[in-house]
Structure 1
C-alpha cells in the first residue's frame, strides 16, 4: 500500500446538478484526480451504492481506469449486503462491478458496512468463501471488511474470520469515545488482532470541517493557516496501524487543502493531540444528531425525504444557536419546495431508513423533531 496515507473516497463526488446525486461532474473529477495523482497518491475507494446504482464505479472507470495505466492506481470496491442477499447473486454482482470500474481485478475488496446481522448473512450465503475464491483467481488482491458496530461484535468477527486482512473503521476525534460508534474500542480491537486499518469518516461526513466558533478559535490560534478539517484528518492519520485515511473530496478546494498537509504528512504532536481532544469535548457538548451523511437511509425511502440534509440543518442549529434557525429554515424550504424533496413530516414510519443506518440512529423520532423545528 502506498505510504502516502490520503485515500480518495468516491462517495461525495462533484456533481453537475447539486439536486441530482447520480450525475457526477466528470470534468471536475478528472481535474481532481490529476492533481491527486500528480502528488504521488493513488488509492481510490468506491462502492455500488455510492451516487446511486453504480454511478461512482462508472465515474472511476471514466476518470481513472480509462486515463491511467492499471499499475499506477489502487482501487477498493465492496460487497454490499443490502443489495446482495442470496448466494446466486454473488457472481453477477461482482462481475458487474469489474465491468463498471473498467478493471480486471480489485486491489482491495471489502465486505461492506458489516455489523452483527450482516456477518450472519455473509456466512449464510457463502460470501467469505466467495471472496477467497476470487482472491485465488487473481480477481482480488486483498480482502477485508468495513465495519459499523460495537467492539465486541468486531472481536467475534475477527475471531471467526482471521483470513480478513484489513478492517475499515469509522474513526474520528469526535467519535473516539462515542458509546455507539466506539471508534477507540474498535481501533484497539483491530490492533489487538494485528489488522491494518483503513479509516472512513475522518471528518465525520464534513461535520468536523465546521466546528463551533469557540472550538475553531482554539485551532486557529494554534495554527492560523491550517484548515479546521485538516486537524481531523491528521488526528487519525497519526494513529499507529492506520494504513490509509479516506477523504470524500467533493471539489478542487477540498482536494488542494488535503494535499497541502498530506503530501508531506507530519503526525500530531502530543500538545496538538490534547488540543484536538479539547475541541472534541466542545463539539460533543453541542451536537444533537450523530449523522455522518452516508445517505444509506435515503435509498428506497418511499417519501424521498432528504434525511441527512435535514439532520445537518438541525445540527447547525445545535452548534450555532438561535441565529442559525432562520438560515436552516431557508435551506429546508429550498430542499422541499425548490428541489422537491419530501418533508420530514411526510415520514410514514416504515423503518427502512433505521434498518440501513450504520449509526443506529432513531431517525423516525429525529424526523418528528425536524418537522417541529423547520416546518
Structure 2
C-alpha cells in the first residue's frame, strides 16, 4: 500500500492516455455486465422452474391448442399428482406498451400446482367463487397502482368475445407473492375465457402438472405422450425447465453469444492495455534504472509495473460493473413486464474480478519482462 501514491503518479504521467485506457476498460466491463444481465433474463426463468412440474403442449407448435378432454387423460397417468390447463391471454392494459403476462388457470387447484405462490385463504375462496376474478403479482400491482377490489379492463391481442369486443373486465381479488421471483403475472379463471370467447371454445393451450417423483420425469413424460400418439393432436411433454429454456433457445445459444462478444471485447482491451503499459515502461526506462540503483530489487520494480496494470484494470472493472448494475436496475423497472427476473447476477462480480486480474496480468506480462531484464548500465547509457 505504501507504493500506491507512486503507482498513481506513474499512471498520471500521461493523463489523457491513462484516462482513455481507463474509459475503454469501463466500457468493456459495462458491456460485459449488461450482457450477463440479458443472458440471465433470457435463461433465468429456467432456473426458477419447479423441479417436479411437467408441461404438455401440442407437438406441432405451442400456438396450436389441445382438446380440453386431454386434461382428464393426463390426470389418469401414473405418477401425475395433479394437472391443470393454462392458456396465454396476451393482456394489454390501456396502452399497447403496457403488456402483461396474463394467463388463465383453474383457481381450485392453482396453488397445488404452484405451491410457491401465496395468497390469503379468504382471497383464494373469493377467487374461486368469482368467475371474473383475477389475482396479480405484487410487482404489476405496484406498477399500475392496482389494489384488491379494483375492476380493470384488460384487452387481449388474441382473444375476442362473442360480441366482437376484445376487452375483458376483471376484478382484482388479491395480490399474490411468490418465492420464485415472478411477481409480474396475472391469473384469472379459464371458465370465464372459455364461455365468452368467439373461437377456440373447449380448447386449452397447455397442461401443467406436478408429479410425485421428479426422478421419473422422463418416464412420466413418455407415458403422457404415448396416450396421444398417432392421434390428430399429438403432444410433446417436457420438464418445466426444458419448456422455459426452449423459448430462450429460439434466439440461439445466449451463452455462446455472450462468450463470443465478451471475448472479442476483452481481446481488444488486452491489446490496448498492453500497449499502454509497454509505452509507459519504455518512457521510464532511465527512471526504473535509477530505482534499481537506489536499492530497489528487480522483483520490486517488476511488481510495481504489474501493479500499475492491475490497478488500471481493477479500477476500470469496478466502475464498469457498478454502472452496469445501476443500468440493470433501471432497465429492469422499464421492461419488467417482459423479464420479471431481470437483474445482474451476483456471480458477475466474481467473474468480473477474475477477468480484471487476468486481463491486467496478461497485459502487463511483456512490460514486466522488460523491467525485470533491465540492466542499469545499459539504461543509463541510453539516457
Structure with the higher strand share, 1 or 2: 2
Same-fold status (TM-score > 0.5): no
Answer 1 or 2: higher relative contact order, Cα 8 Å, separation at least 6. 2
